Amino acid sequence: MRVFAYGLGMLSLDDFIDERLRQGRATFTRADAENALALSEQGLVSALVRLSKRKRLASPHKGFFIILRPEDQASGAPDVAQWIDPLMRFLDLDYRVSLLRAAAFHGASHQAAMVFQVIVPRQLRTVELGRHRLQFLTQAAEPFAAVNAPKYLGRIKTIAGFAKVAGVALTLLDSMRYVEQAGGLDAVAQIVKDIGHKADPRVLRRLAAHYETTCVRRLGYLFERNGFERQAAALEPYAAKAKTAVLLAPSAKPFFKSIAVALEREPKWKLIVNENVELDF
């Protein structure tokens, strides 16, 4: 028979999750429950299914559970920021919240994040949990390790603890790299307008070394368009090394090469301006 973790005698799964909440912990793993309860494997499975049907539990990944408070039951889960950190620790994987949620965290008031976006160093499936959608975006392991250092990150504080969030410079570079997932070029341009002035040029220059030069050049152009000269200047050396021009909006390719020849060119950033950037002022 297992030793009970809380010294309360014979615990049921209901008792176990109530005790977790009293300790300020709103998540648990199947291993946590197995170690705390004297239930058979089938008994534990039955209890987990029963409480899930009663909307006391939700599971974004096999073996990991979120305890739902009454106020969470209508949406199917609490805000992802409350459980992303314990989930990623369960998966033994580093991460950072980025793109639209990070932009909003840093003050981009125009951004309504309908999806919670997290950058990780390997592929993971998108999670749909109640009304919440958690999208994982992949960055290769080496550049991810280089930029995901604590000095480049912030923390989202929640009632459940903290979640790692990209700092301003990382948020801008990530949003430009994953421009379509961030809502398109206009959305990224608006993010730059809203928070670009907060980016430390020295940090931008260091981080940009780990991103594609096409991404860096597009971001530099948007900095310049918004009048953020120090931030733009920090990225100019990357444009100077580029040998060929690329489209400003890669997904809006012209139908004919002759059209591309006629489009405006930005020589400093070596860009073909194939889309007008529209901002909300």
Q: Tell me, what DSSP letter sits at residue 69?
A: P
Give the helix/strand (H/E) hosting 117.
strand 116-120
Residue 112 is assigned to a structural domain of this protein = yes
What is the C-alpha to C-alpha distance for residues 88 and 74, in angstroms, rounded to an integer? 25
Asked if the structure places residue 45 within a domain, the reply is yes
Question: pLDDT tens digits for the chain (281 residues)?
Answer: 344 444 444 688 999 999 999 998 999 999 999 999 988 899 999 999 999 999 999 999 999 999 999 999 889 999 999 999 999 999 999 999 999 999 999 999 765 668 999 999 999 999 999 999 999 999 999 999 999 999 999 999 988 789 999 999 999 999 999 999 999 999 999 999 999 999 999 999 999 999 999 999 999 999 999 999 999 999 999 999 998 999 998 876 554 444 444 467 889 999 999 888 876 65
- Residues 6 or more apart whose CB falls under 8 angstroms from that of 143 comprise 210, 211
Bridge-based pairing state of the strands 153-158 and 161-166: antiparallel
CB 47 within 8 A of CB 79: no
Using alpha carbons, select from 227, 223, 264, 226 the residue that is nearest to residue 247: 264
233: Cβ contacts below 8 Å, ≥ 6 apart = 201
pTM over 0.75: yes
Residue 89 lies in a domain: yes
Q: What distances in angstroms separate CA 19 from CA 3, 11, 13, 27, one per listed residue?
A: 16, 10, 10, 11
215 shares a domain with 133: yes
Q: Does one domain contain both 260 and 243?
A: yes
Would you state the pLDDT for residue 89?
Answer: 96
Pick the closest to residue 62 from 52, 71, 74 (CA basis): 52
241 and 136 in a common domain? yes
**Would residue 247 count as lying in a domain?**
yes
Asked whether the beta carbons of 118 and 84 are under 8 A apart, the reply is yes
User: Which structural domain range is residue 173 located in?
Assistant: 82-273
The domain boundary, picked from 22, 45, 76, lies at 76
Partnered with residue 246 across adjacent β-strands are: 271
Altogether, the residues listed in the chain come to a count of 281
236 and 142 housed in the same domain: yes
The per-residue pLDDT for 256 is: 46
Q: CA-CA distance, 129 to 254, in Å (whole number)?
A: 39
Q: Which two tokens stand for residue 158?
A: 């929640």
User: In terms of Cα–Cα distance, which of 152, 165, 136 is closest to 207?
Assistant: 152
Write the single-letter amino acid at 259: I
Give a yes or no: residue 281 inside a domain: no
Judgement on whether residues 112 and 25 belong to the same structural domain of the protein: no
The CATH number assigned to the domain holding 50 equals: 1.10.10
Name residue 219's amino acid.
L
My answer on whether 192 and 230 are in the same domain is yes
In a domain, 4, yes or no: no
